Structure 1
Amino acid sequence: MSGAAAGPALKDLARLEPLAFEDLTGWEADDHAAAFQAFLRSCRALDAASAELRPAQAPQGDLFRICREALKTPEAGKAEAKRFFETHFQPHTVVPHSGGGFLTGYYEPEFQGSRTPDSTYRVPLLGRPQDLVTIPQGETLPGIEKGLQAARRTGTGYEAYPDRAAIEDGALGDLAKPIVYLREPGEAFIIHVQGSARIRLADGSVMRVSYAGRNGRPYTSIGRVLVQQGEMDLESMTLAKLMGWLKDHPEPAKALMRKNESYIFFREAAELAPEDGPIGGAGHPLVPGRSLAVDRSLWAYGLPVWLDGRLPLTLDEAEPLQRLMIAQDTGSAIVGPARGDFFFGSGDEAGRRAGLLRHSVRFVVLQPKPRS
């Protein structure tokens, strides 16, 4: 367990069963060099001396030591990268005490927008409010209900941050400035769920927006609510169908979206190059097909994770998913020891693929081997 930064609650949620690399179906065929390049991004962020973006919270011990070794061979080919992972890590299947492994997908959407509001572009994405206080994982603040992950700083202390409905009704006033405007409330909501976006402006330029904080309220899946209400069935639901429903039913959609109390704030990510993925929770650009969002209270950023399951191509077709991923992000809906979110990339096709993925998966963490 050394270096994996697994929280003390992990033993209460799952057991870890060690196994050999040869027990991983598909291990020999994976592109380990691609996984290694993604791993290097985490390692550079963990190494404060060479991080170009803000350094992530570096885990102590073996994972950090192994990262230092990886940085010595940045151009490792497939065979060398495979040997590196096999030399420095030990696979462990994660067996939850209840339920099983579950994988969803996410992406960086692209929509049209404007820096100034008009009759077409009227739905704002808000910047981080001045009074927002993020509560670190596992900590509490006086007067704040346990489990809330943010608070509002007042003249006399702290209070719970307003929920989505209150914020949309203007509860923050001038504390949160709009950074860009979109056409549809559903577009803004999807960006809230995904945590980043590319906004194509009228002059042809592309504005990148990244996560800057949240109100700390619990997340509710509106897709699940629609299924429970009988508006859609789970088997045929796609992101396109969901967005279409939101656009075609504006008043019910407003009430539906407000069932999700969680609200996300953004910043303009002008530092990103066009070819970069969005900034993940680890503080560096994500890698399509290799970056995985995990429960940050249980797993460290930079931890390699092997996924074994099915990757849908359409509602009726799927291909094998046997791939080494790197934990580089998190999300309010990603909770549990065998819960992951697969980053597909940017744009409509990535969104189509992401919207299809809600499948069972075998979740195998590669635990750092202690120094021999």
Structure 2
Amino acid sequence: MPETEAASRLAAQARLEALSFKDLDAWANDDHAAAFKAFLRSCRALDASAAELRPAQAPERHLVAVCREALKNENLSRPEARRFFETHFQPFAVIPHSGNGFLTGYYEPEFQGSRTPDSRFKVPLLVRPDDLVTIAPGETLPGIDKGLQAARRTAKGYEPYPDRAAIEDGALGSLAKPVVYLREPAEAFIIHVQGSSRIRLTDGWVMRVAYAGRNGRPYTSIGRVLVQRGEMDLETMTLEKLMGWLMSNPGPAKELMRQNQSYIFFREADELAPEDGPIGGAGFPLVPGRSLAVDRSLWAYGLPFWLEGELPFTLERSEPLRRLMIAQDTGSAIVGPARGDFFFGSGEEAGTRAGLLRHTTRFVVLRPKAQP
């Protein structure tokens, strides 16, 4: 999206208040070298894409210039990394016109699965269909409402893509090609929400699946629906409790999950090493504790964000969150100027912590200074 269009969208939703780094609580205590390493991942991608993309798609020019400076000094100590951010960026508090900043968490789950269906494994994750067209932020297609982010290409033109219920009922026909089969619909749903997974196959091999597209329909939080119905209490809800409810109530769970019209398609990510995080929206492996999902229609990938809030360990115990993170992913539920998703990593413990994080948080964006 052109920078001017993103700026006008942002201005309609929030104001930016210029700060100094002294205004950031505990700024000096963070591990800036760790943040800088995550930033370098974005920089390599931005530097490579700047020469390849059309001008309308090109990344923010000032950010690319800062990245090229960063790539000249890849091994910085913590004090050096801190000076780099302070030299090349200006912090701005993101103040929404309505509401407050809000942070949730996500992770890469692991489930059992099979490449072929059988009596145990019969719930598919689907590959991206050939007729799916993703609509970029700010782009429009004839016959498609502005609120939709994908369309179906037909011989007569474009039409809205089927929603979750229609896809599950067979609307894609022969285009519904599975990449892997799981045991439970609830497991597949969680992978749809998280956008990636490790699948432990019946032969012991661990398969990685990554986001490959979505049907562009709006996202609905089924956890919020359960709270509104009085089935669960928001303060004590965890991912484990949600999964337990879905698996214990298969009939109502099917109806509930279909209230989320959004549907995700996947690919096998065989390029990933076991130690790599999942692929984020920016196109490279995410970094636990440093990668942040943001609203891609408002913010450029690669922008650093300083977060001030709480980071829970359990329902009863948390620690202050004072951390520099890098915008490297997005998600259908991540909408708004001060809305983020904190990537915790892979596995059960990461999932537990991710499910606990739904806290009001202060967002400060570090905007690149114009380079000489």
Q: Same fold (TM over 0.5)?
A: yes
TM-score calculated relative to the size of structure 1: 0.96
| C-alpha RMSD over aligned residues | 1.6
Residue of structure 2 in register with 1:181 after alignment: 181
Change (3 A) 1:195 1:202: same
Quick check: 96-105 or 131-140, which moved more?
131-140
Quick check: 2-11 or 355-364, which moved more?
2-11
Matches within 5 A, 1:185-334: 185-334=185-334
In the TM superposition, residue 6 of structure 1 has moved relative to its aligned partner by 4.1
Count of matched residue pairs: 366
CA contact (8 A) 1:108 1:345 kept: yes
Structure 1, residues 102-151: CA drift from partner, whole Å, max 9, x if none? 00000000000000000000100000001111111112211112211111
Q: State the distance in 1 between where 2:71 and 2:139 align.
A: 33
Structure 1, residues 221-272: CA drift from partner, whole Å, max 9, x if none? 0000000111001000000000000000000000000000000000000000
CA contact (8 A) 1:3 1:63 kept: no
Residue of structure 1 in register with 2:130 after alignment: 130
Structure 2: 5+ residue runs without aligned partners? 52-56
Partner-residue secondary structure (3-state), 2:225: helix
CA contact (8 A) 1:35 1:325 kept: yes
Percentage of pairs with the same residue:
77
Q: State the distance in 2 between where 1:114 and 1:256 align.
A: 26
Q: State the distance in 2 between where 1:298 and 1:138 align.
A: 10
In the TM superposition, residue 204 of structure 1 has moved relative to its aligned partner by 1.2
Residue of structure 2 in register with 1:70 after alignment: 70
Change (3 A) 1:58 1:347: farther
CA contact (8 A) 1:4 1:299 kept: no
CA contact (8 A) 1:132 1:215 kept: yes
Structure 1, residues 264-289: CA drift from partner, whole Å, max 9, x if none? 00000000010100000001100000
Runs of 4+ in structure 1 deviating by more than 3 angstroms, as ranges, are 2-7
Change (3 A) 1:155 1:5: closer
Letter matched to residue 243 of structure 2 = M
Structure 1: 5+ residue runs without aligned partners? 52-56
CA contact (8 A) 2:126 2:179 kept: yes
Residue of structure 1 in register with 2:29 after alignment: 29
In the TM superposition, residue 176 of structure 1 has moved relative to its aligned partner by 2.5
Q: State the distance in 2 between where 1:186 and 1:28 align.
A: 43
Letter matched to residue 124 of structure 1 = P
Letter matched to residue 153 of structure 1 = R
Letter matched to residue 313 of structure 2 = L
Q: State the distance in 2 between where 1:124 and 1:58 align.
A: 36
Partner-residue secondary structure (3-state), 2:302: coil
Q: State the distance in 2 between where 1:105 and 1:153 align.
A: 34
Higher share of residues assigned helix: 2
Structure 1, residues 84-109: CA drift from partner, whole Å, max 9, x if none? 00000010001111001000000000
In the TM superposition, residue 371 of structure 1 has moved relative to its aligned partner by 2.4
Structure 1, residues 311-346: CA drift from partner, whole Å, max 9, x if none? 011111110000000000000110001000000000
Q: State the distance in 2 between where 1:284 and 1:3 align.
A: 23
Q: State the distance in 1 between where 2:5 and 2:12 align.
A: 15
Q: State the distance in 1 between where 2:182 and 2:16 align.
A: 45
CA contact (8 A) 2:50 2:59 kept: no
In the TM superposition, residue 7 of structure 1 has moved relative to its aligned partner by 3.2
In the TM superposition, residue 12 of structure 1 has moved relative to its aligned partner by 1.2
Residue of structure 2 in register with 1:54 after alignment: none
Partner-residue secondary structure (3-state), 1:9: helix
CA contact (8 A) 2:295 2:331 kept: yes
